[in-house]
A and B are shown apart, each in its own frame.
Chain A
């Protein structure tokens, strides 16, 4: 095992302890009402998990992108209702644009292909635009936006108090809010060529793929445990071959999601065809989300459908996250076009990167 792998395993253990110790039914229920959990954010922030994967000299906690990926996956395993992925994306935008990091929960906008216009205002900038489905906008300390100016692309930080925010949520009751910027002042801003809407979307899709993998792991674990407990016809349902085979299929889907998403993080970190890797991961994970969530509910019967039982925290997220930053059809069409353009004889070289 390499050093990097060993360090990551230690990080995973530490992160697992944090989430296992603090995420419980009460916290998750409260988050369904509030759209997130401020309490959990404080704990996770004290444990220095939000800025893993951002270099220390840039104000982060150090570690690689794969380390960050591992943390996102673990957090999702516990359905952690906090903007961990969004803060990582925001920190990435800031560091790429050469701006200082900001403490606290952050988010990014736009996430659905809309535009925010930026105009110079003396030495500073003002921002205008309506953007939808911004994750955790009402919870964040600052929004980090990727705006369009006549001079080019601009990364800017905005105080949410300067925007009109209309609460919304995804299927898992995580905050997904509409944000109206009406000549809102940027606090800090820099023109950049280091990021584009496409690379932001790519990173966002990778984050959701990793989160899907984590949620699938949780749903699989619950399903296996439940099958070993539930008795019908005088036997544990795990003894029925029909149930066993569904669980095996579920394990395959989960493994594929973990493999694809963690691999894609590795490709982004170490070099290679990022579009191929992330598109593949999002496509594969979104599909696994469908297959896995359906098996999970089938194995659980009616109890899985209730708000008293933990499964829904995982499955609602699977159904939400597969759509966010592009669903499998959108990514597949884009990936298919690029593979077709490279031609039949380019297919294998593209897949092998050689």
Chain B
């Protein structure tokens, strides 16, 4: 593990350090102006803020300039992301595009798709959602049943997606579906199609969280027509396309920082001279995030293609998928340590929507706590993947 990574040489270049302060100052000003209210647990959808972030050049920042990107390094993107997370800025309107669908289009999309979507994502004007899960296809994603049939000039979709975050606000989503029946190898015959959400035949229904929040949706397709030019990559290659390049997405700061603002408020609450027990917990939490950040940074730095390479595409020669899974696994449990420390040191009976910031963050974090070990690969699935890599070396 981490053989290809040099931990002792993790210096951020001056460009990244400058950007760090720039993003921080921007967010501070936005918060002072009351542009957004901070909520923990699930990054909120704030189209106006995403547009401002896009205008700064902070969406798709590693992409080629001809597609609206900035041709900046992964490290620049790393610091931008962690600054957003440090204050839990509401990024849902551009997050999926920046992190998943944009890079997929760069890699597999047609020139038309890139021209049409990438600059719009980068401006923060076009929001994507992800349509992978179905009622009977969770971890076992190859079990998707949504079908697309060949019709004149395109495909006709029928079926259902579920747990689609922000499907009620996004403009379009990537839909993983079957374009050929399962003929033995279940990973064949799957394809990725881009489906616009506001069109006849697409029905979006809310599914509410236990605290009443609306993020999730179920989405039904009733003879929805998708033209050929909205097929991402090759028909039948959907599985390979979604499983490649998970490393960067899986090991990013969003895997260990979603409760960080609670840590900050905890430190504020405990004051400048905490007792020994509180100090020890603060120390442990500090060590935890410091260590995770170094691992995450190491992956970003190692995957950075460097100047001259095709922007937005990670270095093809290094495979850090297992390392990324390790970071995610550790990170998701670290987030819970913050929640526990906050609970145990504060003696607060948490309440939804509490006025006090610390108390509200605590309530929101507790309710969201189960989530991080489910989405983006459950703990069990990740550990299976890591173990296969470990044991594979024996053969």
Which residues from chain A sit less than 8 Å from chain B, CB to CB? 1-2, 4-5, 8, 64, 66, 69, 224-225, 227-228, 238, 241, 244-245, 247-249, 251-252, 254-256, 258-260, 262-263, 265-266, 269-270, 276-277, 279-281, 283-284, 328-329, 331-337, 339-341, 343-345, 347-348, 351-352, 354
Contacts and interface: CB of A to CB of B under 8 A. Distances in A.
Interface stretch (B91-99, B110-118, B289-297): B289-297
B298 interface: yes
B17 A340 contact: no
Contacts of A351: 286, 289-290, 293
B120 to A, nearest CB: 31
B246 interface: no
A344 B270 CA distance: 9
5 A-B pairs with the lowest CB-CB distances in the bound complex, closest first: A332-B283, A266-B8, A336-B283, A336-B279, A244-B387
B353 interface: no
A269 B8 contact: yes
Interface string B1-39: 110011111111000010011000000000000000000
Contacts of A334: 279, 283
Contacts of B387: 238, 244-245, 247-248
For A66, A336, A341, the residue with the greatest tally of chain B CB atoms inside 10 Å of its CB is A336
A249 B291 contact: no
Contacts of B260: 348
A259 B263 CA distance: 23
Given A252-B386, A254-B1, A339 B9 contact: no
A347 B263 contact: yes
B288 interface: yes
Q: State the majority secondary structure of interface residues on A.
A: helix
Interface string B266-291: 01101111101011111110111111
Contacts of A4: 6, 9
For A2, A328, A351, the residue with the greatest tally of chain B CB atoms inside 10 Å of its CB is A351
Given A266-B8, A335-B282, 18 more contacts: A224-B393, A244-B383, A244-B384, A247-B390, A248-B383, A248-B387, A251-B1, A252-B326, A258-B7, A260-B291, A260-B294, A266-B10, A270-B8, A280-B287, A336-B286, A340-B274, A344-B267, A351-B293
B105 interface: no
Contacts of A238: 387, 391, 394
B82 interface: yes
Contacts of A265: 8
B6 A228 contact: no
B364 interface: no
A224 B391 contact: yes
Contacts of B294: 259-260, 263
B264 interface: yes
B380 interface: yes
B265 A2 contact: no
A280 B82 CA distance: 19
Given A2-B9, A66-B8, A255-B1, A340 B289 contact: no
Given A8-B6, A256-B291, A270-B11, A340 B282 contact: yes
Given A256-B295, A340-B273, A224 B394 contact: yes
15 contacts: A8-B8, A244-B387, A248-B329, A248-B383, A248-B390, A259-B7, A259-B291, A259-B298, A262-B6, A280-B291, A335-B282, A340-B267, A340-B270, A345-B268, A347-B264
Contact of A332 (B11, B287, B329, B383): B287
For B2, B86, B267, the residue with the greatest tally of chain A CB atoms inside 10 Å of its CB is B267
B291 A281 contact: yes
Contacts of A283: 283-284, 287
B330 interface: yes
Contacts of B6: 1-2, 4-5, 8, 262
A334 to B, nearest CB: 7
A228 B386 contact: no
A219 B117 CA distance: 49
B265 A336 contact: no
Contact of A260 (B17, B290, B386): B290
Contacts of A244: 383-384, 387-388, 391
A348 B86 CA distance: 7
A341 B273 contact: yes
A181 B190 CA distance: 76
Contact of A241 (B287, B329, B384): B384
Contacts of A270: 8-9, 11
Contacts of B330: 252, 255-256
Given A227-B391, A245-B384, A332 B280 contact: yes
Contact of A263 (B8, B280, B281, B383): B8
A339 B8 contact: no
B243 to A, nearest CB: 19
Nearest to B20: A354
Contacts of B323: 255
A336 B279 CA distance: 4
B367 interface: no
A337 B275 CA distance: 9
A252 B282 CA distance: 22
Contacts of A259: 2, 5, 7, 291, 294-295, 298
B143 interface: no
A256 B7 CA distance: 11
A276 B286 contact: yes
Nearest to B274: A340
Contacts of B82: 352
Interface in B295-344: 295, 298, 323, 326, 329-330
Nearest to B278: A336
A331 to B, nearest CB: 7
Contacts of B293: 351
A202 to B, nearest CB: 14
B287 A354 contact: no
A228 B289 CA distance: 33
Contacts of A335: 282-283, 286-287
B347 to A, nearest CB: 18
A339 B283 contact: yes
